């Protein structure tokens, strides 16, 4: 997605050979016009798949997931990283290793919001080692729901998550695919989606 690549080049900050900071438009301040375009693009890619629900992980996945849900006219559910006081005890849970924090945590989704009738599209901000996606897939499996595919805003293609998921036969669509962050520079793969 050209507008996304331009935004990454303009406002993304390469923190290391492995980490890109995009607080200016996705992870802290959010660019609603760009999120709308992202939602439209994911919706276009998955519109034939009978998606009934968008699933993401709080908090950074919520903006692109919500815009995708709006375009597909389906609800968006975000997995919580902590079991809050008010949440029903009746939850699906999975363990996820956080790439950015290097810790394990439990994510949870209320059983009220995901069931075997659902066809689920996962949307997330980044794909690195694929742990967040694996945790969400675990929850979809527990619900007996069907996974339609995964929409990723920024895939770091030099890390193994994308290959692992695709090797399992899962459809993964990323809107910007980064080949390298070496020398403080973002190098993209061939552009995938205009």
Which positions touch ligand 5GP (CB under 6 A)? 19-22, 27, 57, 60, 99-100, 124-132, 161
Distance, in Å, from the CA atom of 180 to the CA atom of 53, rounded to the nearest integer, reads: 32
* 128 has binding-site annotation: yes
C-beta of 3 vs 19, nearer to ligand 5GP: 19
156 in a labelled binding site = yes
Q: How near is the Cβ of 20 to ligand 5GP at its closest, in Å?
A: 4
**Least distance (Å) from ligand 5GP to the CB of residue 90?**
25
CB of 135 to ligand 5GP, least distance (A): 8
Was 72 annotated as part of a binding site? no
Angle, nearest 10°, between helix axes 32-46 and 2-11? 140
Helix, strand, coil percentages in the chain from 3-state DSSP, rounded to 5: 35, 30, 35
Cβ proximity to ligand 5GP: between 111 and 164 the closer is 164
Kindly state the smallest distance separating residue 116's Cβ from ligand 5GP, in Å.
26
By C-alpha distance, which of 38, 24, 26 is closest to 67? 38
27 labelled ligand-binding: yes
Torsion of CA 4, 5, 11, 15, to 10 degrees: 120
Distances, alpha carbon 121 to alpha carbons 48, 84, 145, 156, 168, in Å: 12, 24, 11, 20, 16
> 130 labelled as ligand-binding?
yes
Annotated binding site for xanthine: 20, 27, 156
Annotated binding site for 5-phospho-alpha-D-ribose 1-diphosphate: 128-132
């Amino acid at each position: 997605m050209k507008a996304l690549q331009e935004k990454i080049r303009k406002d993304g900050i390469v923190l290391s050979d492995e980490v890109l900071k995009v607080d200016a438009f996705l992870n802290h301040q959010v660019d609603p016009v760009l999120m709308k375009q992202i939602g439209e693009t994911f919706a276009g890619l998955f519109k034939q798949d009978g998606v009934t629900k968008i699933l993401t992980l709080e908090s950074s996945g919520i903006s692109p997931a919500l815009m995708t849900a709006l375009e597909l006219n389906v609800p968006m559910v975000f997995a919580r990283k902590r079991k809050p006081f008010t949440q029903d005890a009746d939850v699906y849970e999975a363990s996820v290793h956080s790439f950015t924090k290097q810790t394990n945590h439990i994510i949870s989704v209320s059983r009220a919001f995901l069931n075997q009738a659902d066809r689920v599209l996962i949307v997330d901000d980044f794909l690195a080692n694929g742990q967040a996606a694996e945790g969400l897939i675990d929850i979809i499996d527990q619900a007996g729901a069907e996974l339609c595919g995964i929409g990723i805003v920024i895939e770091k293609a030099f890390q193994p998550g994308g290959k692992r998921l695709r090797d399992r036969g899962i459809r993964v669509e990323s809107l910007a695919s980064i080949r390298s962050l070496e020398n403080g520079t973002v190098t993209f793969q061939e552009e995938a989606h205009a």
